[in-house]
């Protein structure tokens, strides 16, 4: 893959909030999960666990009962698939090491794995949206998620109804510094 091919893929990905009523194949879901599975992780613990929700009643329950109040996101249940991104934590890597370093490694790991998932979806012409506006306890109860497993994100998945609209991005010199904070960055 050429550098420009990867950047084109990254720029193609967007947060989709309108999906076609078109099924996502199990083959495409498995492809995205395979990309997520191959992400690197702290101490190779691979804490990611993904629940694939396609059932209309479950999707409706998630949209109606498991989201935080204030933002109505009815479009979630219109997505053909909702992915529940979870972390099955390890005591040594995710509790003890995190306590010492003040870094939540499982959150970093799920972020990397989840981004592999959404980029794989984009490569297939599918669209996604990361969602963090949920009630973890309600989702865990609804989907029988064990107590020690953490729900870190929901990801909708489907065929987009519309094209990506351009979101402005900060320039490289606003987000990068050379050697020290505040030094001019890349152009």
Q: What is the pLDDT of residue 96?
A: 65
What 8-state DSSP symbol labels residue 181? T
Looking at residue 134, the DSSP 8-state letter turns out to be B
Tracing tokens 């893929």 back to the chain, one arrives at 9
pLDDT at 87: 95
Is residue 148 within 8 A of residue 87, CB to CB? The reply is no
Sites in the chain below the pLDDT cut of 70: 1-3, 90-98, 100-102
Q: What is the pTM of this model?
A: 0.91
Q: Is residue 149 within a helix (H) or strand (E), and if so which, with residue range?
A: strand 149-158
Instruction: Give pLDDT, residue 158.
Output: 98
Which tokens go with 88? 């099955």
What's the pLDDT score for residue 1? 65
Domains along the chain? Answer: 18-162 (3.40.109.10)
Is 43:26 a contact under the CB 8 Å cutoff? no
């Amino acid at each position: 893959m050429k550098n420009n091919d990867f950047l084109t893929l990254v720029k193609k990905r967007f947060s989709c909030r309108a999906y076609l009523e078109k099924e996502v194949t199990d083959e495409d879901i498995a492809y995205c999960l395979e990309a997520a599975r191959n992400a690197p992780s702290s101490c190779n613990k691979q804490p990611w666990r993904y629940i694939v929700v396609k059932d209309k009643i479950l999707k409706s329950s998630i949209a109606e009962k498991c989201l935080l109040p204030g933002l109505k996101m009815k479009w979630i249940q219109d997505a053909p698939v909702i992915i529940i991104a979870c972390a099955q934590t390890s005591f040594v890597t995710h509790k003890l090491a995190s306590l010492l370093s003040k870094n939540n490694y499982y959150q970093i790991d799920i972020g990397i794995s989840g981004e592999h998932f959404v980029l794989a979806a984009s490569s297939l012409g599918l669209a996604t949206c990361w969602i963090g506006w949920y009630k973890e306890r309600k989702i865990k109860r609804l989907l029988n998620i064990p107590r020690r497993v953490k729900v870190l994100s929901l990801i909708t998945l489907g065929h987009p109804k519309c094209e990506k609209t351009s979101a402005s991005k900060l320039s490289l010199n606003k987000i990068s510094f050379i050697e020290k904070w505040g030094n001019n960055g890349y152009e």
